[in-house]
Structure 1
Amino acid sequence: MFPFFHRGRSLIARSFSSLRSDQFNVCVVGSGPAGFYTAEKVFTGMKAAKVDIIDRLPTPFGLVRSGVAPDHPETKIVVNQFSRVAGNERCSFFGNVSLGSHGVSLSELRQLYDVVVLAYGAESDRSLGVPGEDLGGVYSAREFVWWYNGHPDCKAMPIDLKSTDAAVVLGQGNVALDVARILLRPTAELAATDIADHALAALQESTIRKVYLVGRRGPAQAACTAKELREILGIKDLYVHIQESDLVKSQTDEMELENSRIRKRVFELFAKRAASHRSNAIKGQRELHFIFFRKPDRFLPSDSGLHVSGVRLEKTSLKENGESGRQVAVGTGQFDDLKCGMVLKSIGYKSVPVDGLPFDMHQGIVPNIRGRVVNGAPPEHAAVEHGLYVVGWLKRGPTGIIATNLYCAEETVESILEDEKKGLLISDSQKLGRQGLLQILENKGVNYVPFSGWQKIDSEEKLRGQLKGKPRDKITDWEELLRVANA
């Protein structure tokens, strides 16, 4: 289908065939922040290392491209740093290469490389496990975020914003605030961002006027940051409702707030807004309602039985957990119904296992000790899988901000350097590294996209964006992405 890549691989593979692979070969699976920070730290710590970064998408940068909200362009500036890493002569990017039977398997990578670092993040979602979760109109926040950010997997999602005036967002973390903000922000402001065209068109026709942000615990435990909260509270002409009775603090709440400057600032923002809000919204005004101390009990079906028409919420109270010291939400047996035609579950991303990889299904992570993959339990007594490492969400779970991955990568690379120093990672001339990867991809007919292919996509998106007054107009179709990369 894309003969340029096929011929290009043949030529590159032949050019490597006469070379002996006597350098340290590292493969990083996943080109998001964790992957690029890992490559950068490897280059700093290992002067003889070559790093190959593979990703199942034709485009690099992971959640910086498909997760960061389009109205947060300042957060995306980090791609300039990652592009410099990709430009290192010791680095190669292989896009459109999946990990598994249709691309390259983990066992194949371990045979080819001295070190394999898995950084492929979290591409699935946690489940609530309550009745009605499979009804139409119930989506994960991840899917919605990918949809408005132009991820090619979610372009064709049947997001319906015209059949209801109310949406419920389950969760009160930063992702929950992101999706609520996109639903409520004036589309004239979104039009100047890199939001996907199909999403902008749908939002321009949206009939949603009310968004409910539902949390199991109270405002003292809200998981968002002050910056994100301040931004959504600052949306022009938005009516915000916060029940003042929810702001009454217990002694334990006071202690929690004293121990967390971030949560204290968030609580202060809630309290300030609650004290200043009007009793009722003006007709036609968009509304944001913070609903605390509620957990979903079930999703209510419409008359047809196919679509969501509301959420039954159970009231909760907080109880101290002796083990963790945190307050947890427990049901009270009291219920109320919240009508809506759309639900976005922002309850956490989930990583997925691959063949040959130890995996903790409960935590959704790979068992590891400072990034070293271990096989067995408990981790401190398990066998170390020498040469295999994890970083990012696959290592620690879907938490933190982009910069968190920098510290996470530093720790994993420190483990790699320690293992090399101990002689546990002796460079093996039989491990072909990049040469072997190219051969496998050619044998399987995998049309990989090099970084130069991404640069063509990047240039085309920016050119199209200029014509529309946007920083870029994202290409959201798999076939077109590959066609442009091949141009």
Structure 2
Amino acid sequence: MLRVAVVGSGPSGVYAAKELVEQREVPGVRVDVLDRLPAPYGLVRYGVAPDHEKIKSLQGNLRGVLEDERIRFLGNVEVGGEALPTGRLLELYHAVVYCVGAARDRHLGIPGEELAGVHSATAFVNWYSAHPDAVGEDFGLPRVRSAVVIGAGNVAVDVTRILARGEAELRPTDMPQPALGALAVSGVREVAMVARRGPAQGKFTTKELRELGTLPGVAVTLDPAELTLDPAYADPAGAAGLPAVNRRNVEVLRGWAEAAQPPAGAPADSDAERRIALRFFLRPVELLGDSGGAVRAVRLERTLPDGRGGVTGTGTYEEIGAQLVLRSVGYRGVALPGLPFDPARGTVPHAAGRVLRDGRASVGEYVAGWIKRGPTGVIGTNRPCAKETASSLLQDAGALAARDLPDDPLPAMRAAGLHPVEWPGWLGIEEAEAALGASLGRHSVKIPDWPGLLAAAGAPAPMSGP
């Protein structure tokens, strides 16, 4: 029997486990899916916006995999720490597949990022998604009148939309109560989403973009002068050469601008409670602070297309006032102690998923997902990525299975001081979240803190947090 550990229970980890147990070439594969958190599903639970129920429903597919009798979920298990270093993990399993994602956000690299009120979009997403590491945040929303979101991807659109939504629209979701309460008293009335390039280069999907134009009580504004700077925007024939999603984005924005009124479904400007401004061809160069060390504005330079897909500065500047700035300019992988790491790419060096140490494949170590290929693609992109890695592992199965292992790694983990949360513990968390929601007059509501999650799972609370 081949025993494999998959580190990470997000889509890439679950897809890797599925590939390993459902193939027929190597019989008897058993997989333990380990996660630092006591709850499974990774970014599907902690990265998908709470008002996107259709995408969140993917949890049902992942659940079906983790309930397979050949797969065991072990949450609350941190790999790479003193209790379970990577080398020790390889002593307990024939092979390990690391699916640890890209957990760190990229910085802007401009003056003022240290100011109060400047955060990563990742931190904001973690907060409203009830990630237990984000407990205690509130982002000063009652004091914020204007917010700036820097970026032009789906995460930027998500946080823009959440900032502009009303409490009544978010109440039916599983958003944690502290976040819902803070958003209910939010002072935000203006949100500017700023991109350094043009609409033809936006990384958001068309569905996400269109949603901004249908939010109750929200008006979306565009600056036609900025839009026409983009050659593909100004020339419909040129847009035909764009990828389909970018072409549809251009068509949506062109339609909004030509209508000379708020997008369909949005109220007239005079009736709008909040406004979203979509800004293009503006590059942040400095975050400006007030006398108390808090952000007060973003200084931006006007850019122009350089003819090669990038932009060049013009030396013309403007400021947008803001008491909250969220940067959403991408993610980077984080080095896991004991694994090789390429800091330039933010990934683990590999060949078809086999971890490379000094240019040679490391026996029994594999990667899949963002830590393998970088933060690219959508959820479905993880399927072929995981399949390639699983195929490499199965090709190596004969040599891997030759090692003798303990009958079950669980006793060794517990002896090291770990308290793994198994599937019944996760079901306990689900039951506790349903009960919490009922007590608040809502549907299921996420538990946002470590002690609450571990108590619901029946695991000992950490002395000072994992």
Please state how far the C-alpha of 1:467 moved relative to its aligned partner: 4.2
- Name the amino acid aligned to 2:404: Q
Please state how far the C-alpha of 1:469 moved relative to its aligned partner: 4.8
Q: For residues 337-383 of structure 1, what are the alpha-carbon distances to aligned partners after superposition, in whole Å with 9 as ceiling and x for unaligned?
A: 1111000011112221012211111221112222122234xxxxx21
Alignment of 1:35-114 (within 5 A): 35-45=13-23, 46-114=26-94
**Equivalence for 1:368:** 350
Runs of 4+ in 1 over 6 A off after TM superposition: none
Unaligned 5+ segments in structure 2 are 263-267, 460-466
**Equivalence for 1:431:** 405
Please state how far the C-alpha of 1:255 moved relative to its aligned partner: 4.5
Asked if the contact 2:141–2:185 (Cα under 8 Å) also holds between the matched residues in 1, the reply is: yes
**Equivalence for 1:353:** 335
Task: Indicate yes or no: 2:372 matched with 1:395.
Answer: yes
Alignment of 1:266-285 (within 5 A): 266-278=249-261, 281-282=269-270, 285=273
Counterpart of 2:436 (choices 429, 443, 464) is: 464
Please state how far the C-alpha of 1:54 moved relative to its aligned partner: 0.8
Q: For residues 223-274 of structure 1, what are the alpha-carbon distances to aligned partners after superposition, in whole Å with 9 as ceiling and x for unaligned?
A: 1000100111111232111111223242698646523111000011111111
Q: For residues 104-125 of structure 1, what are the alpha-carbon distances to aligned partners after superposition, in whole Å with 9 as ceiling and x for unaligned?
A: 1111112222211000112221
How many Å separate the matches in 1 of 2:232 and 2:185? 47
Please state how far the C-alpha of 1:459 moved relative to its aligned partner: 1.4
Task: Indicate yes or no: 2:110 matched with 1:130.
Answer: yes
How many Å separate the matches in 2 of 1:469 and 1:74? 22
How many Å separate the matches in 1 of 2:248 and 2:196? 20
**Equivalence for 2:285:** 297
**Equivalence for 1:190:** 170
Please state how far the C-alpha of 1:291 moved relative to its aligned partner: 0.9
How many Å separate the matches in 1 of 2:47 and 2:3? 30
Unaligned 5+ segments in structure 1 are 1-22, 322-326, 377-381
Alignment of 1:193-212 (within 5 A): 193-212=173-192
How many Å separate the matches in 2 of 1:233 and 1:103? 50
**Equivalence for 2:222:** 242
**Equivalence for 1:452:** 424
Please state how far the C-alpha of 1:284 moved relative to its aligned partner: 5.7
**Equivalence for 2:394:** 417
How many Å separate the matches in 1 of 2:400 and 2:347? 27
Please state how far the C-alpha of 1:278 moved relative to its aligned partner: 3.8
How many Å separate the matches in 2 of 1:54 and 1:284? 47
Q: For residues 18-69 of structure 1, what are the alpha-carbon distances to aligned partners after superposition, in whole Å with 9 as ceiling and x for unaligned?
A: xxxxx10100000111111110110012431110111110111111111011
Q: For residues 120-163 of structure 1, what are the alpha-carbon distances to aligned partners after superposition, in whole Å with 9 as ceiling and x for unaligned?
A: 11222111111111111011011100100111100212411121
CA 1:448–1:189 in 2, change beyond 3 Å: closer, same or farther?
same
How many Å separate the matches in 2 of 1:419 and 1:124? 32
Range that drifts further, 240-249 or 201-210: 240-249
Asked if the contact 2:217–2:271 (Cα under 8 Å) also holds between the matched residues in 1, the reply is: no
Range that drifts further, 439-448 or 182-191: 439-448
1:442 counterpart SS class = helix
**Equivalence for 1:8:** none
- Name the amino acid aligned to 2:5: C
How many Å separate the matches in 2 of 1:285 and 1:468? 27
- Across the aligned residues of Structure 1 and Structure 2, the Cα RMSD in angstroms comes to 1.9
**Equivalence for 1:324:** none
Asked if the contact 1:241–1:277 (Cα under 8 Å) also holds between the matched residues in 2, the reply is: no
How many Å separate the matches in 2 of 1:289 and 1:486? 47
How many Å separate the matches in 2 of 1:355 and 1:242? 46
Alignment of 1:114-193 (within 5 A): 114-193=94-173
Q: TM-score, normalised by structure 2?
A: 0.92
Counterpart of 1:338 (choices 314, 320, 329) is: 320
How many Å separate the matches in 1 of 2:240 and 2:362? 41
How many Å separate the matches in 2 of 1:439 and 1:282? 65
1:310 counterpart SS class = strand
How many Å separate the matches in 2 of 1:359 and 1:318? 35
Asked if the contact 2:364–2:400 (Cα under 8 Å) also holds between the matched residues in 1, the reply is: no
Please state how far the C-alpha of 1:310 moved relative to its aligned partner: 0.7
**Equivalence for 1:473:** 445
